Amino acid sequence: MALNDTLIGVEVNDRRSGMNFAVYSKEGCPYCDKIKEVFKGKSISYREYILDHHFSRRAFYDEFGDGATFPQVLLNADKLGGCIDTVKYLRENNII
């Protein structure tokens, strides 16, 4: 399987809210696991893309910046940031 050199913005639509979330994660990442637990706990649909399975590290840095950390979360193609920033956004917008 060839890795993508660019990140794809295909997400799962949460029909209740019209929100499309994508989580760019890597294996063994506790913050990645945490944001996925938050989404699952609130029954929020998301699409997960995993480093070295769906995209390369270079594609990740090209998209999110050389200092970007895992996870990175997108909502309708807008970058929310990592786990802490995403939870903050979800709380501020009464999603969780």
In whole angstroms, what is the distance from residue 18 CA to residue 48 CA? 17
Residue boundaries of the structural domains of the chain: 12-92
Residue 18: its pLDDT value, please? 78
The answer to whether the CB of 2 falls within 8 A of the CB of 56 is no
Pick the CATH number of 12-92 from 3.40.30.10, 3.20.20.10, 3.40.50.300, 2.60.40.420: 3.40.30.10
Residue 11: its pLDDT value, please? 42
DSSP states of the chain as a string? -PPBSS-----EEETTTTEEEEEEE-TT-HHHHHHHHHHHHTT---EEEEBTTTB-HHHHHHHH-TT--S-EEEETTEEEESHHHHHHHHHHTT--
Digit-by-digit pLDDT tens for the chain (96 residues) are 344 444 444 444 444 457 899 999 999 999 999 999 999 999 999 999 999 999 999 999 999 999 999 999 999 989 999 999 999 999 999 998
